[in-house]
Chain A
């Protein structure tokens, strides 16, 4: 199963050139059953990555382009009166899919954003007092433009907190871009994807993640990182949900790296991507100033 995952990873690397680390982290996020936030300038390939991920996982996915006039109903669906049966019939929205691609999530109004919020956390939606469960698994892969761009409204802290990872692809290096231009073809690059994970495989992998071993001293180290954020006043303190997310992410990272235990390096690797947007919601994903600060200041004896 893991080999298949690695095949998928290799395949993804052929689609998104020169970003192996981000791809691994993105896969790691999905294995950890977390939602993924991709933040980048327009045209950096974040939508492509989101597509490619959804594609590779072999899940049903829907894509919603968020705009300022998108209403919550457009997202979760609504009850429509069927004149023939003289009954209200539920018309499911795009959120009822295994993977929701929320493109440019910060263009939507806060009201719509918070509708997504419930769906992300509870894995269910309530429409007209009726609660409907979302399919399993349910991922949100959201992309957003950096906040200083026109026509964006910032995601509130509470909502940012629901994204396990925040990644930024950044510019490709010269060699990768060279290759990209060379291979330029009219076809979508997504056609390159041949290796896919089926649902069972994904589930099994996801079930393996919690079983990855995290020793006491590792948890101690993680807690000392978290506590460091709580003792400073130049950053938001990391919540227990955040520490849970860090551990889960580290476990998934260890799994991808073919280990049955988490080591300190795993924690150090995932920490910036899990913690930075929680420490400072206004920060840009390209930088990881605060999390690096914490990593540097916290001694590691293991």
Chain B
């Protein structure tokens, strides 16, 4: 049987959609190649030209497969597998002629659609994937029943109705099995802060409006000026850039800090977006975490593997200072590197005037505050002695400038100090009860060591206190604010819509993506607790359904043999009756049927006889034999029904 024309169109569009959904797995040239193959197929198909010959398609497939193989190292195993699979599907479509060729193709489509979840966990994309799934389901029914339009829609709808509760049940109750195989990590650029902090890296983040993570608190959220989300410790300074020390990159866990006698007073949950980095976020001093994360050295929270999907974890911690772990840590944080002579001089002078680190810090604050220092997102370019130039020349910069300058001054004055990279503040949504922290909340500040404790000091607060107390926007001039806003954001309605979507996405991540073993066990526990209630509800429901059945049977019950026979034959003939005129008697209709289908004539005549006996003569025996005849001839009836449908 030839493949129905509409099916090829549907599949070409579907494959284009899958290609777009999986675009992260494809290099640009592959996207272009695959898309052009599909568009070519679509155009030739719609203009009625036949499919390409199998030999040519095989040749094309082989060439492209070899090219993909050469690219294997760049794209990684997972992406390569997806590429090969999609290539196979596209080439199959190019050469598609008969409907039996297409049967595997539908199943491959299901697999490809499912694999889109490797790349996306968003709610919107999930909806799109679900739509693609529905389209494929429809095409599946279309493939097997091309002429029965009603059947395709009915079956698709029915399947979805069956699938949805099944999905929900599996999602809620089926035990979470660890993956059978490791999904190779996709090689995708990471987002957010990085191992290196140079003046300018945060500037780029500030222009990025996307979400970094969300946080929910047990109890009231801390005030804005306490929300310093630590993510990176920059301790190596080369005179211009700050880098993460190699010690922090290993997987050492933080020594047990509960011994220090601090009491945990904070509990919160972080839902972090995919960043393809190990480093996550925490306030002050975390003491306990769950899921796939651990507390690394320096009190930073890290993930066991790069965060390639949105993850959520629970943190218990104290809002206290972080203790010095090793003496080595002190030594590292005293290195001032070469250059920046002016700054070093300035620092030594300050050190002579102020003996304690606290006084020193106050002096630095005063310096920034009283002198002409400006907070700006567009500072002038700096030369090789960048901190000298910033402190004494340009005097304009943003958090990373102030933080690195302060850290250097402190180090030069003999106080161990380091730059901390992370996020400051966030947007609190009181109704939904979560804090949204975007990339633009990226911030850098300083920690200095005093009496074996690391103290937090944010020099930016001295220059632009609004940045800390309120938000980034308030610290900027109007002109700078406008620069931050992309055009469409100005529309209030759209902004509102975007916000609502973000909230929806939040619930999605909390209730769907964040649903884990613990939640599941909780559900089972709950179920067990309310077992009697559930049993009662279930029985009542069953009883109601049963009563409904009985009632509907009772209402449609055959009053006598006449009625029963009429009902019986109406039910059995079903769609055949569509071709019966309303005023035509059933026997006349049966006679007409047997005239139309001479091969079915004999049993139809017998059927008519029994029917008439049952209906017009109240003959119960005839009713029984009518039932028997209908049962025996059910296959023939089916054939008849089909023949009517096809005409």
Contact = CB atoms under 8 A, between A and B. Distances in A.
Interface string B568-607: 0010000000000011111110000000000000000000
B582 A265 contact: no
Given A213-B617, A215-B617, A299 B582 contact: yes
A298 B583 contact: yes
Contacts of B616: 213-215, 218, 261-264, 302
A268 B615 CA distance: 16
B618 A213 contact: yes
Contacts of B458: none
B159 to A, nearest CB: 34
A264 B582 contact: no
B612 interface: yes
A293 to B, nearest CB: 11
B586 A302 contact: yes
Nearest to A213: B617
Interface in A258-302: 259-265, 268, 295-302
B584 A300 contact: yes
Given A263-B587, A265-B588, A302-B566, A217 B582 contact: no
A216 interface: yes
Contacts of B618: 213, 215
Interface in B533-573: 559-560, 562-563, 566, 570
A217 B613 CA distance: 13
A297 B587 CA distance: 18
Interface residues of A, number: 22
A296 B582 CA distance: 8
Interface string B596-634: 000000000000000011011110000000000000000
Nearest to B560: A216
A265 B559 CA distance: 23
A215 to B, nearest CB: 5
A263 B560 CA distance: 16
Nearest to B584: A300
A260 B585 contact: no
Contacts of A262: 616
Nearest to A221: B585
Most A-side CB within 10 Å, residue of B560, B588, B616: B616
Most B-side CB within 10 Å, residue of A264, A296, A300, A302: A302
A268 to B, nearest CB: 6
Nearest to A301: B566
Contact of B583 (A216, A217, A299): A299
B641 to A, nearest CB: 19
Interface string A204-224: 000000000111111000000
B562 A216 contact: yes
A215 B566 CA distance: 12
B583 A302 contact: no
State the main secondary structure of chain B at its contact with A.
helix
A215 B615 contact: yes
Interface in B302-337: none
Contacts of B613: 261
A30 B612 CA distance: 26
Contact of A268 (B566, B585, B612): B585
Contacts of A213: 616-618
A296 B583 contact: yes
Contacts of B583: 295-300
Nearest to B616: A261
B587 A264 contact: yes
Contacts of A299: 582-583
Contacts of A214: 616
A217 B587 contact: no
Nearest to B588: A265
A297 B584 CA distance: 10
Most B-side CB within 10 Å, residue of A214, A297, A301: A301
A268 B582 CA distance: 13
Contacts of B559: 216
A263 B582 contact: no
A261 B585 contact: no
Contacts of A215: 562, 615-618
B18 to A, nearest CB: 51
A300 B585 contact: yes
A302 B615 contact: yes
A297 B586 CA distance: 16
Most A-side CB within 10 Å, residue of B566, B585, B615, B618: B585
A92 to B, nearest CB: 44
A298 B586 CA distance: 14
A217 B585 contact: no
A252 to B, nearest CB: 15
A299 B582 CA distance: 5
A300 B582 contact: yes
A260 B617 contact: yes
Interface in B167-222: none
A296 to B, nearest CB: 5
A300 B582 CA distance: 6
A217 B563 contact: yes
Contacts of A302: 562, 566, 585-586, 615-616
Interface in B4-19: none
Given A261-B616, A298-B583, A217 B588 contact: no
Contacts of B584: 300
B562 A217 contact: yes
Given A218-B616, A260-B617, A268-B588, 14 more contacts: A213-B618, A215-B615, A216-B562, A217-B563, A218-B562, A259-B612, A261-B616, A263-B587, A263-B612, A263-B615, A264-B585, A264-B588, A299-B582, A300-B583
30 contacts: A213-B618, A214-B616, A216-B562, A216-B563, A217-B562, A217-B563, A217-B566, A217-B615, A218-B616, A259-B612, A261-B617, A262-B616, A263-B615, A263-B616, A264-B585, A264-B616, A265-B587, A268-B585, A268-B588, A296-B583, A297-B583, A299-B583, A300-B584, A300-B586, A301-B566, A302-B562, A302-B566, A302-B585, A302-B586, A302-B615
Interface of B: 559-560, 562-563, 566, 570, 582-588, 612-613, 615-618
In order of increasing CB-CB distance, the 4 nearest A-B pairs are: A264-B585, A261-B616, A261-B617, A299-B582
